[in-house]
Amino acid sequence: MLGSKPRGQMEMVFAGCIGDFVPQTHILKRVDKVLDLSWLAGEVAGCYSQGTGRPGIDPEAAVRLMLAGFLCNIVHDRRLMREAQVNLAIRWFAGFGLNEALPDHSSLTRIRQRWGSALFKRIFERSVEACVVANLVGGDMLHVDATLIRADVSWSSLAVEHVEAVNKVNEDDTSPPRGSDGSGQSGTNPAKTKKVKRSRTDNDARMATNKYNQRLEPCFKQHTGVDAKFEVQVDVCVERADVHEGAMLVTQVERVEQLTGKKLSVVTADKGYASAANFAAIEARGMTGIIPPARTRPAKVPLSRFRFDQLNDLLRCPRGHHLRPGSQTIRGRFYRSKAKDCKRCSLARDCLPKTGKSRAIIIQDGHGALLRARRRYLKKLPADRAAYHSHRFRVEGIHGEAKTCHGLNRAIRRGLDNIAIQTWLTAAAINLKRLAKAAFWLHLALWHQFTRQNRIAINLLGHFDQCGSGRLKKA
Ligand code: SF4
């Protein structure tokens, strides 16, 4: 029989808590069990006047609303507050009853401005500390990577900017010409005017590309550190997109060791981090760096054919002549051959740059560590391969998760501080998910243990019953 349902006014009176309507498997219900923000009110008390003015929004309720947005992928404040009007789970998670008025979306902006970005960093750090206490952080192996976040600006906001200072920098630049390592290419032309694109609406955004689509976009760069044990995000920081990720590695390692209180022994990263300085710094800390060394520039007589004698500070060319040390640059030290040696050399045509009479090479600081890392990489040890394989799905998986499930594919506000708040809250949301998942599995394991023990106890009781009854029968 065909059913029908009247669509008139439905009753509004019910008994119980609105949390009863939220399923136990809902992400907010799970996260609520592991989220502790009792410390927050004390931290932000100094941002409010004591005893005067209208009572502000409860700090915990505000942070819960923000976290609910990141957990449910509703990252824009206006959309979040519209959704919270009708979403029982968000209302319950933030502590608002059905008849209670929700704060205006602009209140969340003012709260962020009032508290400052450092407080949101503390929320992220607290989530890491909770994961350490729950034994979800091994603290042994760290996977490091960086990703670009598209700035919240339009293409029409971009303008070409003439960087006058660049000309001066080019003139004063003491760095070597590009062909100094054997490529034979000439250096930068000081007379050339450099032009860059900048956004007029977000001054901190920089043009960058992820190399896949080759299109320069206004971006920020997030630097991420992921622990190998349960994929907990133990470090996150955001910088302008023109800051190279390789320059951040050592500070990331230091931050992670300080935050987790554990000594790292292995760090994995991609080719972007494979500089001699990084390998040397990792070695100096007693760690192993599993980083595929970058390929050397193709050249007819490449740098690998030159032998470096660290003890005597000399470089020997394929023909056995010494290249003498010269000036120090930012990356390393210049070594230059004697023109009279090269003049009679049979390799001169392939070895020397087109207009040069001698060969100049830069030996980077930490060159020995780079060579050792190269040798280790060529051995292709199974443990190293396994660690680098897990690097790919762990840290790149975290980036994918943050972008597809938590709205990090595009910045939601402008300015470096606001993007930092977004990345810290996203990372905190991901860590809380890990914590909630662990609590769920722990609960399940305890339940299984409990039922198993009960089953054994029931079986034993049954066994005693049988024995007792047997004895009784005998008696
Ligand atoms: S050209 Fe000069 S630096 Fe190159 S192999 Fe010959 S002697 Fe050595």
State in Å: Cα 296 to ligand 1 middle.
19
State in Å: Cα 351 to ligand 1 middle.
6
Query: Pick from 279, 298, 249, 270: which is nearest to 376 by CA?
Result: 279
Residue 46 CB neighbour total at 10 angstroms = 7
Q: Please give the Cα distance from 348 to 8 (Å, whole number).
A: 93
- Predicted pLDDT at 468: 46
Whether 361 lines ligand 1, by a CB cut-off of 6 Å, is no
- Predicted pLDDT at 167: 59
Query: Ligand 1 atom closest to Cα of 346?
Result: 6
With contact defined as beta carbons under 8 Å apart, do 93 and 428 qualify?
A: no
Whether 337 lines ligand 1, by a CB cut-off of 6 Å, is yes
Reduced to 3 states, what is the DSSP secondary structure of residue 99? coil
State in Å: Cα 186 to ligand 1 middle.
18
- Predicted pLDDT at 474: 42
With contact defined as beta carbons under 8 Å apart, do 211 and 200 qualify?
A: no
Which stretches of the chain score pLDDT less than 50?
176-191, 461, 464, 468-475
State in Å: Cα 319 to ligand 1 middle.
6
pTM value is: 0.81
DSSP code, position 372: H
- Predicted pLDDT at 361: 87
Q: Which two tokens stand for residue 283?
A: 């070695």
Outline where DSSP puts E strands in 229-374: 233-240, 266-268, 288-290, 307-309, 314-316, 322-328, 332-336, 360-364
Query: Ligand 1 atom closest to Cα of 338?
Result: 2
293-318, pLDDT tens digit by residue? 877 777 788 888 888 887 888 889 98
Query: Pick from 236, 233, 199: which is nearest to 219 by CA?
Result: 199
Q: Which two tokens stand for residue 158?
A: 């971009």
Q: Please give the Cα distance from 246 to 273 (Å, whole number).
A: 4
- Predicted pLDDT at 184: 38
Q: Which two tokens stand for residue 301?
A: 């007589």
Q: Which two tokens stand for residue 383?
A: 């443990």
Residues 6+ apart with CB under 8 A from 422: 75, 408, 411, 412, 413
Which residue's alpha carbon is at the smallest distance from atom 4 of ligand 1? 351
Q: Please give the Cα distance from 53 to 196 (Å, whole number).
A: 48
Outline where DSSP puts E strands in 302-377: 307-309, 314-316, 322-328, 332-336, 360-364
Whether 352 lines ligand 1, by a CB cut-off of 6 Å, is yes
Q: Please give the Cα distance from 107 to 98 (Å, whole number).
A: 20
Q: Please give the Cα distance from 22 to 20 (Å, whole number).
A: 6
Which residue's alpha carbon is at the smallest distance from atom 8 of ligand 1? 317
State in Å: Cα 332 to ligand 1 middle.
21
Query: Ligand 1 atom closest to Cα of 341?
Result: 7
126-140, pLDDT tens digit by residue? 999 999 999 999 999
Which residue's alpha carbon is at the smallest distance from atom 2 of ligand 1? 342
With contact defined as beta carbons under 8 Å apart, do 93 and 32 qualify?
A: yes
Whether 299 lines ligand 1, by a CB cut-off of 6 Å, is no
State in Å: Cα 78 to ligand 1 middle.
67
- Predicted pLDDT at 10: 67
Which residue's alpha carbon is at the smallest distance from atom 7 of ligand 1? 342
Q: Please give the Cα distance from 300 to 252 (Å, whole number).
A: 38
